[in-house]
Amino acid sequence: MRRYFGEFNRVIGDNIRLAAKRLQKLGLGASVLPHKTALVIERPDAMPWADFSRAVQSILQPQRGSVMLSSESSGRTFICQNRGNQAGRFVRQW
């Protein structure tokens, strides 16, 4: 399992607990951190990045939602925003 820390803005329903439950139904491990908009997400080794990113993107509000994911193992950070030129795409930050 690979672990990611996600900081979310504008999830569907504006409820981070429901967002965690939705990710769990999609086959990911998700738990809410004490910070009100953050989750620890566990991606199974067998799940490709494309499926993982679609699952995470599915809990964002279509017009304004965004997320910043940080990988525990590699330290890489990815940002997905549903606004701007690259709406709905995960972009690696350098």
pTM value > 0.85: yes
Per-residue pLDDT 10s for the chain (94 aa) are 999 999 999 999 999 999 999 999 999 999 999 888 999 999 999 999 999 999 999 999 988 999 999 999 999 999 999 887 667 778 888 7
Q: What is the CATH number of the domain that holds 66?
A: 3.30.70
d(CA 12, CA 28): 17
Helix (H) or strand (E) holding 23: helix 16-25
Number of compact structural domains in the chain = 1
pLDDT, residue 65, reads: 92
Using an 8 Å Cβ cutoff, are 78 and 92 in contact? yes
pLDDT, residue 93, reads: 83
Range of the domain at 54: 2-93
pLDDT, residue 17, reads: 94
